Copies of this chain bind each other. A is one copy, B any other.
Amino acid sequence: MPAPLRAAVSDAAWLRGMLEAERALAVAEAKAGLISQQEADAVVEACGRSYDVEALAEEGRRVGNPVEPLVRALRATADRAHWGATSQDILDTAMALVAREAKQLVDAELDGLAAACARLAEEHRHTVMAGRTLLQQATPITFGLKAAGWLTGIVQARDVLATAELPAQLGGASGTLAAMGERGLDVGKLYAEDLGLSEPAVPWHTMRVPVTVLGARLAIAAGAVDKIALDVQLLAQTEVAEVREPADGSSSTMPHKRNPVGSSLARACALTARGAAGTLLAAQAQEHERAGGAWQAEWGALSEALAATGGAAAWMRETLEGLEVDAERMRTNISPDALSEAARFGFEPAGPQDYLGSTDALIDRALAEYRR
């Protein structure tokens, strides 16, 4: 996985998210008149300091979550830190912030991958190759159509992922905002606005549809990438040799080999993303007002789903951007039987290029959908 993605879901990033949540809470509470400006300033100052990520994580493990030790540290100088909030408010909001930042990187990789697919669809609009069903040659297609299909998958996955976002979380101990008296909803609104997160109708401490939606969509995006990686691997086989990966995947002992490293790693990432999303789905049913176990399992799983999906997209973007396409080989690989169907439907094509049906128009449609 790309270093920026790993950084975006690191313990340090989660800590930044928690500090940002605590800061925004204090600011919102001061605006709403719940705490004084001076008290808020102390919190903001404390949130701006740096903390020992490892130590907090270690201590957090002992008490069940890392917010408790962090709050203790903040309160050394800012006794109104975390006023009226519960640990999950801060951690869920940190999760939303981490997810937002990491998702931007994932989106960018998916955009890049879509662009690479679109370019291939356009450039190879007329590059005739064998269609293959159940891994047997069927009627001809063009490589542009294949790339257009890939493009469609990425566009759909990207569009569906785009609307997956985690809202701000603020509910206090049991989700009633009781410790904030009359001002709970005001604080919640200001808090979400400050952070640029959406405000949910009610706290979602144990109603995790947004988390599972995000997790599932990441796995689906990784799956759309996986399909491309699978096709590239198959096309890059020695016996097919219609494409070659750009990456330096040469073998130490077999210099002639050009391993499809990018698509292999993309596939590995897709498997990982799917596993992590499965954990998120399995963790959806959470007890009463805060779960004992299912919630805690989300932290690592969501980080992994984000990083692995971004990793899959990044590997495949790089791979397609530098993909070497052997149009001549594509043409010569086509089996003489490829046109055997044609006669049955009253066609007498001179060659594969004459039995492509609506291929060209379909590519246009995929490109139009992409550019929309």
Contact = CB atoms under 8 A, between A and B. Distances in A.
A146 to B, nearest CB: 8
A224 to B, nearest CB: 6
Interface string A256-274: 1111110111111111101
Nearest to A210: B156
A86 interface: yes
Given A136-B259, A177-B357, 8 more contacts: A134-B264, A136-B257, A146-B288, A179-B344, A185-B361, A265-B296, A270-B293, A278-B278
A281 B287 contact: no
A288 B136 CA distance: 10
A92 to B, nearest CB: 13
Interface of A is mostly: helix
| A-B residue pairs, 3 tightest by C-beta | A267-B293, A131-B174, A223-B284
Interface stretch (A100-108, A190-198, A201-209): A201-209
A254 B341 contact: yes
A336 to B, nearest CB: 9
Interface in A136-174: 136-141, 145-146, 148-150, 152-153, 156-157, 160, 172-174
Given A178-B355, A207-B224, A234-B135, A152 B202 contact: yes
B254 A267 contact: no
A58 B6 CA distance: 12
Interface in A48-81: 58, 61-64, 68, 71-72
A216 to B, nearest CB: 4
B184 A284 contact: no
B206 A227 contact: yes
B139 A234 contact: no
A7 interface: no
Contacts of A71: 252
B272 A300 contact: yes
